[in-house]
Structure 1
Amino acid sequence: MEPVAQTYQDHSRAIWKLGLPLILSNLAQFAIHITDTVMLGWYDVTALAASTIAGTLFFVIFIVGAGFSQAVTPLVAAAAEEDDDVQVRRVTRMGLWLSIFYGLGVTIPFFWAEDILIAIGQDPDVAALAHIYLQIIIWQMIPALVVWTLKAFLAAMEHTAIILWATIGTAVLNGFINYALIFGNFGMPELGIQGAAIASLSVNVITVLILVLYINRKLPQFELFKNFWRSDAEILRRVFMLGWPIGLTSLAEGGLFSASAVMMGWIGAIELAAHGIAIQLASLTFMVHIGFSQAATVRAGRALGRRDELSLRRGGITAIGMSALFAVLTSVVFLALPETLVSLFIDPNEPQRATLLRIGASLIMVAALFQLVDGLQVLALGLLRGVQDTTVPMVMAAVSYWMIGLPVSYLLAFNLGFGAVGLWSGLVIGLAVAAVLLLWRFWGRSVKIAPVDLAQQL
């Protein structure tokens, strides 16, 4: 296929058309986490703190395996642009294999979750509740990874509407189950934090069933689930080689936020609860940037399939501009309404409401800058994944997060006495460095359109 030059307006329309359903589905998916946070915040502050630290622990392990899912998108997008249906099937199947194998292997440490949390300095009451929560959600690891892989396949094939509607439906269901089981409504038992875990597990299993049924009906030519047990060593290796740096990059960032939650726990349980609220709000806007990043990965992967350097560069500039514009708009909201936003997560009768509002509002104001640099760095990562460049970006990200962001956070929070605000300020600095390095890397890669040799990236 001959490369076709496109205007920035063409790229803007294409990214918006592809990205809007992904953004909305990300927001709907995140509504599940928001629902958990809001309802647990209304139920009990200790339960909120426990779900914050437990969810962080689960996520940091999950996100490594999700790297194999995310590797599916650029590989399928490039294969689809070349009309290679067999390659599309091979890549997706092996992505599912790797997701399942990983999910089976990582559940064991969760059985000692309480001991682990106490060992890293968490409050015993918080650790005990977090352990109860984790004993249920460990069983959602495999279905959650399968969901991510199937969504990656569908996004690469530009079948994004089903991702949106399936996620909206399960988000509504999650809210209903939460309301019933956390508080004991509709004649159900009052399970508190256990009810939130059961809801999360249920919606992941249901989402798998919905996506499998859709793929079998709407995309039968790929035969993704026929003879599913057949191995494909060549493609398994390729997905693995592209996916493990993605997973470790996500681990580096997820681990940074996990470490920040642990350090916030050292400051105090109230600060940890406020941190959980602020993270939820910052993560809500981050879902939009993730959607732009996912769309950018698909567009870059298809440009790679066509060997179209002009389209890659223009598409990249357009996606970066759209993400940055959204960040500026949401920063205005964060700066204008910090206490109003935090108050949405706190019971009006909570005895420590005033303290939570004060600390949470200060973190939200830092988050205004935080989400700008975080959006830019994740957009750059999406573009680099589209051109199948993952190992060098992994190193750049890890250095930025762990050698710059985390030490600065500790220095500001503890040595200089800035507490929770200092901790968040260090995160902003680390993410800003990552954004600069990764954008520089993409611009250099955009003039070398050939796929990266996965064995020779370093």
Structure 2
Amino acid sequence: MIKSSGGTTAGWWIVNSRSLLALAFPLILTNFAHVALTTVDIVMLGRLGATEIAAAGLAIVLFNQLRTMGTGLVTGVSNLVAEAHVRNDVQRIRDLLVAGFFWATVSGIVFAVVLLLIGPVLLWLGQEPEVVEKSGQFLTVLAPGMVPCLWFQTLRHFTTGLKRPGPLLAITLVSIAATIGLNYVLIYGKLGLPAFGFVGVAIATTTVFTLSFLMFLLVIVKNRSFSPYLSRSELRWSGDAVKSVWKLGLPISGTYASEAGFFSVLTLLIGTLGTEALAAQTLLNQIIYIVFMISAGFSHAASVHISEAHGVGDYVKARRLGILGLALGVLAMLVVAIPYLVVPDAIVSLFLSADHEGNAAILALTASGLLIATVLQVFDASQNIGNGILRGVGDAVGPFRISLVGYWLVGLPVSYLLGVAAGQGVQGVWVGQTIGLATTAGMLVVAFLVRVNRLKQKASDTVALESSKS
């Protein structure tokens, strides 16, 4: 029977499943809590009408596109911190924290400016003028929230790299309560404040982004376990750390941009099919985004564990951890698919009121999309975890290249052919999206297995060479 550090083969899978779940579970809960912020926004907007949800939905998609790119730029902080932590290199961890904040600030400012100037581009891309005008109003308030949002993400990846993500959940739960309260007060004009309507959602979101970062920073500063890394006299600018975060983060950001851009372009494509189609896309995107948080938790947990194995050259363990992360993610998606098949109408009705005229068509359209999503989410989870496990063995460029093929050379053309050229509408676009995700997922898994085998062989050759010299 094969032996490993965890005992028998069966014992290894059990022990490491528990280890992965121990890190993934709080990350998933935190992800759920974080996505609840935008979910609350969508639910509140769904009570205001189709035009409002379409306009704000378009604005949120664009914001998330750039937020995802900025998050990708600092995501490598967790992997780099994990590698430094296993070597007990405290100063390196401090330097990485400063570097993460630097890139979060730079990218946050640049992306906020882009959001403020994007209106004419949307008109040129064929979006309805009324929707673009309202989206512009929404983005004017939402864009400044980009910087504190990315500062929060930097702290998040710093604590995750140390395997101490605990404070995130409590902070995000408080943020949800604040979002609900602020949305209600600002949309409808309570407590003596004017009614801002759907723009009130943007005000609430930007406010909560700022408060979340400040709360998280306060918790970390007060937590003694983080104090070795937060000594002001030891926090310094390190060109090497800044370069390392950029070197790992740029291709991750590119991969995230490719994925988010794929969804954003599909949203713009669907926007040319009418307001109802765009509203349905907004709802389906949000539902998928919620469930995506499960695979994101598994992806990040597997990535951090694999980074540790990579740091000590244990590639047998790295390979097994990658397979284990994929298996857990796919299993979770199959469980989630059950309510999609059994009660799709009930799920969609949570996000959109049937009282408004015209909403019935949107509800039916979104419910049909959930049937497609049962398959889509399996491949979406696989490609997400595939990104994480490849990053864990030091390959951040491969996922970017693969995403260009899977999303843009396969998914987008097929979506256009099925949805527009073949006249299948929004359902055709969703099927094409699924095919693109499936292609990407398959290529990522193969790339991970090939890279791990190469690294294992390289390590074996090095050992053999050293033995021959001695």
Give the TM-score band, short-chain normalised: over 0.9
- 8 Å CA contact retained: 1:370, 1:428: yes
Equivalent residue number for residue 12 of structure 1:
17
Partner of 1:310: 316
| Structure 1 residue 44, shift from structure 2 partner | 2.3
Higher mean alpha-carbon deviation, 315-324 vs 265-274, is at: 315-324
Identity among equivalent positions (%) equals 31
Is the CA contact 2:152–2:213 (under 8 Å) kept in the aligned structure 1?
Answer: yes
Q: Which one of the candidate residues 332, 347, 355 is aligned to 2:353? A: 347
Q: Residue by residue, what CA displacement relative to the aligned partner does 1:86-110 show, whole Å, maximum 9, x if unpaired?
A: 1111112111111111112232232
Alignment of 1:249 with 2:255, yes or no, is yes
Equivalent in the alignment of 1:287: 293
Displacement of 1:446 after TM fit? Answer: 2.1
TM-superposed CA distance for 1:249, in Å, is 0.5
Equivalent position to 1:150, from 152, 155, 174: 155
Q: Distance in 1 between matches of 2:153 and 2:419?
A: 35
SS at match of 1:446: helix
Aligned pair 1:338/2:358, yes or no? no
- Matches of 2:233 and 2:419 in 1, distance apart? 54
Distance 1:297 1:348 in 2: 42
Separation in structure 2 between the aligned mates of residue 178 and residue 66 of structure 1, nearest angstrom: 25
- Displacement of 1:310: 2.2
State the Cα RMSD in Å. Answer: 1.6
Higher mean displacement: 269-278 or 439-448 = 439-448
Provide the residue aligned with 2:433 in structure 1. Answer: 427
Q: Please tell me whether residue 194 in structure 1 is matched to residue 202 in structure 2.
A: no
Q: Any conservation in 2 of the 1:92–1:153 contact (CA below 8 Å)?
A: yes
Structure 1 match to 2:166: 161
The AA in structure 2 aligned to 1:25 is T
Q: Does 1:223 align with 2:223?
A: no
Per the TM alignment, residue 184 of structure 1 is displaced from its structure 2 partner at its CA by 2.1
Answering whether residue 216 of structure 2 is matched by residue 207 of structure 1, we say: no
**Equivalent AA in structure 2 for residue 400 of structure 1:** G
Measured in 1, the distance between the counterparts of 2:231 and 2:327 equals 36
CA deviations on 1:182-202 (whole Å, 9 max, x unpaired) are 122344321122111111111
Q: What is the DSSP-based 3-state SS (H/G/I as helix, E as strand, rest coil) of the residue aligned with 1:173?
A: helix
**2:33 is the counterpart of 1:23:** no
Q: Distance in 2 between matches of 1:225 and 1:196?
A: 37
SS of the residue corresponding to residue 88 of structure 2 reads coil
Q: Is the 8 A contact 1:74 1:387 kept in 2?
A: no
What letter matches 1:337 in structure 2?
Answer: V
SS in 2 for 1:296: helix
User: Are positions 1:55 and 2:57 aligned together?
Assistant: no
Question: Which residue does the alignment assign to 1:456?
Answer: none
Alignment match of 1:138 (pick from 134, 143, 154): 143
Match of 2:79 among 65, 74, 79: 74
2:295/2:385 contact within 8 Å kept = yes
Distance in 1 between residues matched to 2:454 and 2:25, nearest whole Å: 29
Distance 1:79 1:364, change over 3 A: same
Aligned match of 1:115: 120
| Counterpart in the other structure of 1:455 | none
Q: CA deviation at 1:370?
A: 0.8
Deviations 1:395-434 (A, max 9, x none): 0111100010000000000111110000000000000000
In 2, distance between residues paired with 1:267 and 1:225? 54
Give the secondary structure class of the aligned counterpart of 2:386: helix
Q: Is the 8 A contact 1:111 1:135 kept in 2?
A: yes
Residues 92-142 of structure 1 deviation map (CA, whole Å, 9 limit, x = unaligned): 211111111111223223233332221211111111110011011111111
Contact 1:324-1:376 within 8 A present in 2 as well = yes
Structure with the larger RCO, 1 or 2 (CA within 8 Å, 6+ apart): 1
Q: For the residues of structure 1 that align with 2:166 and 2:6, how far apart are their CA atoms?
A: 27
DSSP-derived class of the 2:272 partner: helix
1:240 Cα shift?
A: 0.5
**Structure showing greater Rg:** 2
The whole-number CA distance in structure 2 between the counterparts of 1:227 and 1:132 is: 43
- Residue 140 of structure 1 aligns to a residue in which SS? helix
Q: 1:234 to 1:413 in 2, by over 3 A?
A: same
User: Structure 1: how far apart are the matches of 2:233 and 2:51?
Assistant: 47
Alpha-carbon shift at residue 248 of structure 1 (Å): 0.7
Gaps of 5+ in 2: 459-470
Please list the CA deviations of residues 265-286 of structure 1 after superposition, one character each: whole Å capped at 9, or x if unmatched: 1001011001111111111111
Give the 3 Å change call, closer, same or farther, for CA 406–418 of structure 1 in structure 2: same
2:190, 2:370 → 1: CA distance?
33
Aligned residue type for 1:274: A
Number of equivalent positions:
448
Q: 2:129 aligned to 124, 132, 143, which one? A: 124
What CA deviation, in whole Å up to 9, does each residue of 1:58-95 have, x standing for no partner? Answer: 12222222122101011111111111111111112111
- Map Cα deviations across residues 209-252 of structure 1 (whole Å, 9 max, x no partner): 12212222221101265575x42111111110110000010111
Deviates more, 1:304-313 or 1:355-364: 304-313
- Distance, in Å, in 1 between the alignment partners of 2:231 and 2:356 is 51
Separation of aligned partners in 1, 2:285 and 2:56: 13
Question: How far 1:323 moved relative to its partner?
Answer: 0.5
